[in-house]
Amino acid sequence: MKTNIDINEKWIIGGGKTKAGTNRRVPIHPKILHLVRRYYENGDSVYLFKDPEYENYRKRFHTAIKHMGLDKAHTPHDCRVRFVTMAKNAGCDEYAIKRLVGHVIEDLTERVYTKRDFSWIRDELEKIK
């Protein structure tokens, strides 16, 4: 929902599949901020995109893949694979990547005792050029 976005502070609260991924604050990368802003400011929906239901998202995803002439075997999961690969290639901290994609952090020291400022995760995300 748009109420989960702070367009001025450039973050979004999202996730819902797992406990680690649910309701986490994630920075919006500068390269996609203009897209998020356009959808945020336009339209009458309370959602950033018209219909957040996963099945409808999958249909739109596959329509876009076909329209771009890409291999129709691509899945929405490929976006996560690409993001993690780009983050690792950019030298992002392993724990930042896990926080960004909503994975469980098993390491007790990192999960419980390490307190990170939000600026840290933003800086890690912005290593991806």
- CA-to-CA separations, 76 to 10, 19, 80, 91, 102, in angstroms, rounded: 24, 20, 8, 24, 16
pLDDT tens, residue by residue, 77-127: 999 999 999 999 999 999 999 999 999 999 999 999 999 999 999 999 999
User: For the purposes of burial, counting CB atoms within 10 Å of the CB of 32, is it exposed (0-12), middle (13-18) or buried (19 or more)?
Assistant: exposed
pLDDT tens, residue by residue, 22-41: 789 999 999 999 999 998 99
Give the pLDDT band of residue 128 (cuts 50, 70, 90): very high
More confident residue, 51 or 34: 34
Please report, as a single letter, which amino acid is at residue 81.
V
Give the pLDDT band of residue 52 (cuts 50, 70, 90): low
Task: Please give the model's pTM, rounded to 2 decimal places.
Answer: 0.85
> Six-digit token pair at 104?
């469980």
